[in-house]
Amino acid sequence: MPVKPIQSFPEFMNILDSERTSVIDFWATWCGPCRAISPLFEKLSSAPSSSSLDFYSVDVDAQEQIAQECGVTAMPTFMVFRAGTKVGDVTGASPGALQPVVQDQKAEALGKRRRELQ
């Protein structure tokens, strides 16, 4: 699934209410590191093995209320939410930090799906 921009605070709240796991990229247009890691985030979102996760982006300048609600103070910041609870985060444009968080969430979602099928 491609990365979907979050356009409003109510939309963000609806995403948090979902049982699905959401990975959110908090970024800014003026942030060079945000632009540098964006292709990796897009690649992670479109991987077939990522179908159990939803990927979103938040422009912190356009959606200040969301950034404040999440306590974002540096960009890029990546946060992972499941059923309204933050279950992971990464601050900074570090592929070595972002990839394991996404992989862990894929494994968790797969394990949950297997338990549901038993």
Question: Per residue of the chain (118 residues), what is the pLDDT tens digit?
Answer: 789 999 999 999 999 999 899 999 999 999 999 999 999 999 999 998 888 899 999 999 999 999 999 999 999 999 999 988 999 999 999 999 999 999 998 888 777 666 666 6
Q: At 25, which CATH number? A: 3.40.30.10
9 in any annotated domain: yes
Q: Which of the following is catalytic: 24, 34, 44, 58?
A: 34
Q: How far is CA 55 from CA 18, 83, 116, 118, in A?
A: 13, 15, 23, 27
Give the total residue count for the chain.
118
How far is Cα of residue 114 from the mean position of the Cα atoms in its chain? Answer: 23
pTM for the whole structure: 0.92
118 in any annotated domain: no
Q: Which of the following is catalytic: 28, 31, 44, 102?
A: 31
Q: Identify the domain containing residue 17 by its residue range.
A: 4-112
20 in any annotated domain: yes
117 in any annotated domain: no
52 in any annotated domain: yes
Residue 95: per-residue pLDDT = 94
107 in any annotated domain: yes
Q: How many domains does the chain have?
A: 1
The number of helix segments (H) and strand segments (E) in the chain equals 4, 5
At residue 43, the 3 state secondary structure works out as helix
Active site (annotated) includes residue 70: no
Helical residues (DSSP H) of 18-94, grouped into ranges: 32-46, 64-70
